[in-house]
Amino acid sequence: MTVSASAAAAAAAGESQPLVRLELDKRAQSSIIYSEEERSSSSSTAYDRNQQHEGSSIFQTALNITKLCMGTGTLALPFAAEKGGLLFNVMGLALIALWNYYCANCILRCRDLLHPKAKPGEGVESNSTTASQQHQHNNQQQVYYGSNMESHEHNEYSLNENRTTPPDGTTSYGEIAWYASGSIGLLSVDLLMLLLSVMLIIAYEVAMISFIDSMPITTGSRKIDIIIPSIIVALLSCSPDVSFLTKFSIFGLMALTLSFSVIMWQGLAENGLSGFQSTLNLWPRDLSDASSWFGVVVFGYGVVPFILNFRESMTIPNNVGLATKVGLVLVFLAYVVMSNFVRILFSPTHTFKGDVLQALPKSSWIALTVRLLMTFVISVTAPLIVVPCGEMIEGKLGVGIDEISNRIAIRLLLCILCTGVSEYAPGFVHLVSFMGCFCVSITSFVLPPLFCIQLQNKRREGDSSTTKVDFISYCDLGFLVFGILTTILTSIMTFGDLRRSDQ
């Protein structure tokens, strides 16, 4: 997934802000992840951008990865546990985490293939590093995360030599798509990102409608209920600078933490520990349930398209592998609690057919506070999706940055379109499940091994000393085939559920 670098909404400088985002959804990451310097020098590639901030440590990056996954997708985790079954859910969460790790590995190996001249720990050497030490680094075997590449003194080969550079503003992931598959690869990534962004805005609107419908203050008309939050989203999306919205990040975490805390308390108050004595399904009832589970979980993780951004934000970029491992482990543990534990607590009295907030009583003032807070946070989160999505459309239509009225019109029309569709759209969890199976699965599980295979083949064509097909290449091919089959099957199944839920 990629957007124009000019869509960056807030500068990410220093160790505390390289991956700042509103916690309701990871897709807002793409709009605020780039530094001010990167925005001002969009003509250079992601590899050549100079990072002048201190950068984040391994632990800070792991926390950023964890926060990235603590978005709106977590509201559908009990639904996923309901569909997948307790044992299958735990095992599946672990396997999807490993799958994300492997495909993140693919993206980083793609970067190594594009830039074999890069030095280990690039940008890490202190100013006191001597020339002899630097020469020693240059001659040592270069070991990257997920790759092992030798430095050829007489025939250093770079895949991006003698190739046209990608368009201005292309992000790191888009750069890999460009060099691997050309304009078709970049266009595919852009279209997937655009589709995901539009569907995500619609999902936000559906979620807000769901929250408001469960409040005692509802007007009884979905059209009227959604007007006020939609106006807020539209007005904020027309702002020339939405970086101030990143200050609401803490509210997103607070809203999610409060929501699950209140829900767990409600489950204990209603059922005590009797849910642990209930007989619950351990496996999916059918393939449709398994597909629904798959979509929600894949949507929840989804760190692969952003792995290069995490790498670029670190003090020592080559430590991104360890940071990713730690982050995914933390996410796995959190997801198990937020899915299985909540489902067990409510098993005697409630079945999760929608988002987790549906388990809250309508009359409780605490539940009302949670829903109002979640509605507010989504209202200030959605513009971080609308803005980069609007800029992608503006770029395709040739709308210049100085054409303010046209840009505002495009964003307003986008908000109006998504609001209108949301009134007739199916439930939030079904939208999330389909997005995970289709858009996120393609960008996370299909494209990374495909790009890796393509770049590796081009490297063999350009370097006669590299002709052997190694074991990892066969693994990439296997994961590519498995990713394609899984994406097709689950997308068809969840699309069918999407249509049935709308009837």
Tell me how far apart the alpha carbons of residues 472 and 101 are, in angstroms, rounded to a whole number: 14
Give per-residue burial for 380-401: e unless 16+ CB within 10 Å, then b. bbbbbbbbbbbbbbbbeeebee
Residue 184 inside a domain? The answer is yes
* pLDDT exceeds cutoff 80 at 137: no
* pLDDT exceeds cutoff 60 at 165: yes
Sign of the C-alpha dihedral computed for residues 264, 270, 274 and 280 taken in this order: negative
- Residues in a beta bridge with 142: 149
* pLDDT exceeds cutoff 60 at 122: no
CA triplet 53, 147, 169: central angle to 5 degrees?
45
CA distances from 57 to 118, 123, 220, 315 (A): 21, 14, 50, 6
Task: Average the pLDDT over 281-301 and give the result.
Answer: 94
Residue 132 inside a domain? The answer is no
Q: To the nearest whole percent, how much of the chain has pLDDT over 90? A: 33
Residue 144 inside a domain? The answer is no
Question: What is the three-state SS of 419-477?
Answer: HHHHCCCCCHHHHHHHHHHHHHHHHHHHHHHHHHHHHHHHHHHHCCCCCCCCHHHHHHH
* pLDDT exceeds cutoff 70 at 43: no
Residue 140 inside a domain? The answer is no
CA distances from 4 to 193, 244, 376, 387 (A): 11, 20, 27, 11
pLDDT at 443: 94
Residue that the structure tokens 């978005």 belong to: 71
pTM: 0.79
Task: Average the pLDDT over 260-281 and give the result.
Answer: 85
Tell me how far apart the alpha carbons of residues 443 and 190 are, in angstroms, rounded to a whole number: 10
* pLDDT exceeds cutoff 80 at 124: no
Tell me how far apart the alpha carbons of residues 243 and 447 are, in angstroms, rounded to a whole number: 30
21-30, 68-77, 317-326: least confidently modelled range:
21-30
Highest-confidence segment of 67-71, 76-80, 203-207, 460-464: 76-80
Domain of 54: which CATH number? 1.20.1740
Give pLDDT tens digits for 299-334: 999 899 989 989 988 999 989 999 999 999 999 999
> Helices in 85-215 by DSSP H: which ranges?
86-114, 131-139, 172-213
Domain that holds residue 451: 5-122+159-501
More confident residue, 240 or 432: 432
CA triplet 33, 36, 38: central angle to 5 degrees?
75
More confident residue, 209 or 77: 77
Give pLDDT tens digits for 143-156: 333 333 333 333 33
Residue 198 inside a domain? The answer is yes
Q: To the nearest whole percent, how much of the chain has pLDDT over 70? A: 75
pLDDT at 247: 66
3 state DSSP class of 2: coil
pLDDT-derived band of residue 211, with 50, 70 and 90 as boundaries?
Answer: confident
More confident residue, 438 or 170: 438
Mean of per-residue pLDDT scores for the chain: 77
pLDDT-derived band of residue 19, with 50, 70 and 90 as boundaries?
Answer: very low
pLDDT at 396: 78
Residue that the structure tokens 């670098």 belong to: 5
3 state DSSP class of 142: strand
Residue 134 inside a domain? The answer is no
- Residues in a beta bridge with 148: 143
Residue 190 inside a domain? The answer is yes
Residue 154 inside a domain? The answer is no
* pLDDT exceeds cutoff 50 at 28: no
- Number of domains the chain contains: 1
Give pLDDT tens digits for 413-471: 999 999 888 888 888 999 999 999 999 999 999 999 999 999 988 887 766 555 566 78
Ramachandran class of 151: left when φ > 0, alpha when ψ lies in -120 to 50, beta otherwise? beta
